[in-house]
Structure 1
Amino acid sequence: MLIGILLTINIIVCVVLIGFVLLQRSEGGALGMGGGGAGNFMTARGAGDFMTRMTWILFSVFIVVSLILTVLTGRLGGSDSVVDKLKIDNLDTKTLNAPATPAVPAPTTPAPIQAPTPQLGAPTVPAPATAPAQTPAQ
């Protein structure tokens, strides 16, 4: 419940902070858009001071709420670390560096059958092009 409320506050502060940053007048003319315009609804000096102060206040609130959310969600997950979740107590140190043995034996492939080599002087019979057709028995 508290995390949901803080997260909502953090999102609202973030959106307002974005708005304040975008409404500020650029002072360095970084993209060639420096200068006045319709954004000067108060005096230039007073608007700059107000916007700068509000930006710093919103930034500080955003950072504080983000840190609180980080601490609360870290405690919510539990105090177990990843190392505590590993079952390293039952490990045998003598077999750690042993090569792995396959659980299932690898299938063996039969050796290829070689055709007999023709002998010198023996007549060679060409293989039939097609298998002989069988006639149905009557």
Structure 2
Amino acid sequence: MLQTILLVAMILISIALAGVILLQRSEGGALGMGGGPSGFMTARGAGNVLTRATEILAILFFICAISLTIAGNMSRASQSVINADEVGAIAVGGDTQAPASAAPAPATPAQPAAPSLDDLEASLPTAPSAPAR
């Protein structure tokens, strides 16, 4: 429930932050646009209010992001990424849980997955010996 509330707050803060940033007057005059005296926010006081609002929203954004991370990790605190029982079973060679509905696998002849070096040497033709001079 806390994650949902924080996520909704994060979305609202993000939208408000983008809006406040877009409302600010352009200082750089990129490509010759913006920065002119036309518009409804030409007073210096309006710029200070928008700058202060941007700072507050940015701080709230970071606080909300950190809170979301903490809240997400609190619910997983009792679980481990690596389950020690399963790692031990893998190291021993056994399986921790067999599926209940799985039928036993049919017996297969014991053959290696790939031929061994002995099989390769046995399959090579023998070279005739060179005659003695």
Give the TM bin, normalised by the shorter chain.
0.5 to 0.7
1:83 Cα offset (Å): 2.4
The within-5 A match list for 1:37-56 is 37-40=38-41, 43=43, 45-56=44-55
Instruction: Give the number of the structure whose residues are more often helix, by fraction.
Output: 2
**Cα distance in 1, alignment partners of residues 52 and 87 from structure 2:** 54
1:92 Cα offset (Å): 4.1
Unmatched 5+ stretches in structure 2: 94-111, 114-133
Count of aligned residue pairs for this structure pair: 93
TM-score, length-scaled by structure 2? 0.60
Residue 7 in 1 paired to residue 7 in 2? yes
1:85 Cα offset (Å): 6.0
Which residue identity lines up with residue 21 of structure 1 in the other structure? I
Q: Considering only CA atoms, is the larger Rg found in Structure 1 or Structure 2?
A: 1
- In the superposition, relative to structure 1, how do residues 34 and 71 fare at CA in structure 2: closer, same or farther (>3 Å)? same
TM-score, length-scaled by structure 1? 0.58
Aligned partner of 1:98 in structure 2 is none
- In the superposition, relative to structure 1, how do residues 85 and 55 fare at CA in structure 2: closer, same or farther (>3 Å)? farther
**Cα distance in 1, alignment partners of residues 72 and 62 from structure 2:** 15
1:86 Cα offset (Å): 7.1
**Cα distance in 2, alignment partners of residues 65 and 89 from structure 1:** 39
Give deviations 1:10-50, integer Å, cap 9, x for gaps. 1111111110001111111124213232242x51x111111
Equivalent pairs: percent with the same residue?
Answer: 41
